[in-house]
């Protein structure tokens, strides 16, 4: 059953950052700090503790009102994300994981492009893989991590582009030569997932149309651990695609229901304990945007 979430329009301009966690006391503060350090300041942080038995609660108490902490009995990643979606107050919803890091300009850049067109429902970014010591494993890891990019002709799906600095006043110098690309990604999504979930920023109205995540698809008892599962379903509902693979998901804009593992599994090797974001990728409803 798909639960209703994100009722109402939300607080204008507010980005609700949802962080599900399970026994990640050793690392979650780094993820939270990277969100609180964003140059875009109109942000609320919602941490959903999915039954942790470590000292997560005590650690997060130090943040006071800067973090909304919600505890629930262990129910899995999908249920934790649904709890976060139900609690989110923002006009926009961003996904973050408790073992990932954001570069300071991540949300600011996405919001600059979202402002171009009210039809934009989803945006995502490239990413940099780093090891537990923080050493870079691979820059711009989106294409290597999601091999669907090797199975599609990029120009067939992303036919419009522009310079990022032209639409983003605060664009860092290092990104001045970066382009954003628009295109229809609907057909490409049948070949594999294009989006790394912790990079996703979505418009609340579109999330509300899609509803929450179907729960019950466990991932080895660890609600926010990347893993593959056999028989994970993909759901594209109303005007948005929710792809559910062991609780990971993303949104697009067409209606279909596919049961069974039809796409590339979303997951990263366990050796990659942290993800830093780099580059910028964005997707509007009816059009997709990605920078690679």
**Contact in structure between 168 and 113 (CB atoms under 8 Å):** yes
Candidates 200, 197, 186; CA nearest to 152 is 186
Strand partners, 161: 181
Q: Is the pLDDT of residue 219 over 60?
A: no
Map out the domains of the chain with their CATH numbers.
12-289 (3.90.550.10)
pLDDT band at 217 (very low <50, low <70, confident <90, very high): low
The larger pLDDT score, comparing residue 237 to residue 8, is at 8
The larger pLDDT score, comparing residue 105 to residue 241, is at 105
The predicted model scores a pTM of 0.75
The pLDDT of 184-213, averaged and rounded, is: 85
The pLDDT of 175-190, averaged and rounded, is: 80
Q: Please tell me the least confidently modeled range out of 11-25, 115-129, 228-242.
A: 228-242
Q: Is the pLDDT of residue 77 over 50?
A: yes
Residue 276 is predicted with a pLDDT of: 35
Residue 222 is predicted with a pLDDT of: 36
Q: Using CA atoms, how far apart are residues 71 and 87, in angstroms rounded to an integer?
A: 12
Tokens of 184: 């229809």
Condensed to tens digits (0 to 9), the pLDDT of residues 250-267 reads 333 332 222 222 222 233
Q: Is the pLDDT of residue 241 over 80?
A: no
Q: Is the pLDDT of residue 45 over 90?
A: yes
Residue 92 is predicted with a pLDDT of: 97
Q: Is the pLDDT of residue 191 over 80?
A: yes
Quickly list DSSP for 54-117: SSHHHHHGGGGGGEEEEEE-S--HHHHHHHHHHH--EEEEEE--TT-B--TTHHHHHHHHHTT-
Q: Using CA atoms, how far apart are residues 85 and 94, in angstroms rounded to an integer?
A: 10
Candidates 244, 186, 177; CA nearest to 212 is 244
Q: Using CA atoms, how far apart are residues 122 and 93, in angstroms rounded to an integer?
A: 9
The percent of residues above 70 in pLDDT, for the chain, comes to 73
pLDDT band at 224 (very low <50, low <70, confident <90, very high): very low
Residues 6+ apart with CB under 8 A from 26: 54
Residue 79 is predicted with a pLDDT of: 92
The pLDDT of 175-185, averaged and rounded, is: 82
CA 166-203-275 angle, 5° bins: 75
Q: What is the mean pLDDT of the chain?
A: 75
pLDDT band at 1 (very low <50, low <70, confident <90, very high): low
Residues 6+ apart with CB under 8 A from 28: 19, 21, 47, 56, 59, 60, 98, 99
**Contact in structure between 242 and 249 (CB atoms under 8 Å):** yes
């Amino acid at each position: 059953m798909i639960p209703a979430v994100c009722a109402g329009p939300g607080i204008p301009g507010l980005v609700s950052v949802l962080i599900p966690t399970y026994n990640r006391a050793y690392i979650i503060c780094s993820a939270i700090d990277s969100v609180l350090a964003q140059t875009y300041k109109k942000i609320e942080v919602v941490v959903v503790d999915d039954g942790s038995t470590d000292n997560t609660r005590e650690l997060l108490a130090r943040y006071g009102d800067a973090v909304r902490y919600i505890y629930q009995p262990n129910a899995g990643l999908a249920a934790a994300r649904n709890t976060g979606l139900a609690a989110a107050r923002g006009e926009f919803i961003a996904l973050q994981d408790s073992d990932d890091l954001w570069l300071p300009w991540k949300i600011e850049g996405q919001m600059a492009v979202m402002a171009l067109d009210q039809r934009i429902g989803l945006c995502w970014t490239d990413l940099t893989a780093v090891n537990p010591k923080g050493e870079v494993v691979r820059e711009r890891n989106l294409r290597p991590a999601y091999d669907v990019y090797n199975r599609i002709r990029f120009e067939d799906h992303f036919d419009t582009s522009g310079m990022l600095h032209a639409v983003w006043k605060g664009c860092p110098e290092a990104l001045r030569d970066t382009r954003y690309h628009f295109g229809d990604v609907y057909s490409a999504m049948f070949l594999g997932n294009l989006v790394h979930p912790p990079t996703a920023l979505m418009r609340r109205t579109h999330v509300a149309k899609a509803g929450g995540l179907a729960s019950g698809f466990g991932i080895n008892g660890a609600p926010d651990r990347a893993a593959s599962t056999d028989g994970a379903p993909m759901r594209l509902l109303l005007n948005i695609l929710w792809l559910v693979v062991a609780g990971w998901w993303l949104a697009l804009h067409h209606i279909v229901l596919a049961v069974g593992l039809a796409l590339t599994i979303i997951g990263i090797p366990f050796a990659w304990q942290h993800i830093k974001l780099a580059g910028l990728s964005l997707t509007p409803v009816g059009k997709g945007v990605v920078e690679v």
